[in-house]
A and B are shown apart, each in its own frame.
Chain A
Amino acid sequence: MKNLLEHMGIEPERLHFSWISSAESTKFVDVATKVTEAVKSLENKEKKFVKTKPKVA
């Protein structure tokens, strides 16, 4: 999934997968922070794939 999204031009930072056990709260916080940082690094890039209202001619 991720590979194809990337292939199509979505930045890899926009999709994350992880595996966290219910006892690993520290890992959760860690990954959550990393994910957020990765997304923030894209801050200035335009969002893609968003369904906007159709343009009316």
Chain B
Amino acid sequence: MADNEPKILSFLCNWCSYGAADLAGVSRMEYPSNIRVIRIPCTGRMSPKFILAGLRQGADAVWVSG
């Protein structure tokens, strides 16, 4: 991938957005490849520390989705 492509760290809830992402894949829909998915058991698992850790380690953006 070219260097100027941003990396977006995505925290997806197992039951909601992760399912949606899975369904999108199964349905052969296309979506940007900039998204790096981390599956979390529930959005309740989310912590502000994760967002900071992501940004600190060089993610261009963070996306949290329940």
Query: Residues of A with Cβ closer than 8 Å to B?
Result: 1, 10, 13-29, 31-33, 35-36, 38-40, 42-43, 47-51
Contacts and interface: CB of A to CB of B under 8 A. Distances in A.
Interface residues of B, number: 35
Chain A residues touching B, majority SS: mixed
B41 interface: no
B20 A27 contact: yes
Interface string B18-43: 11111110010111101100000000
A43 B8 CA distance: 12
Contacts of B19: 21-23
Contact of B6 (A21, A29, A43): A43
Of the listed residues A23, A32, A49, A50, the one surrounded by the most CB atoms of chain B closer than 10 A to its CB is A32
A35 B8 contact: yes
B62 A32 contact: no
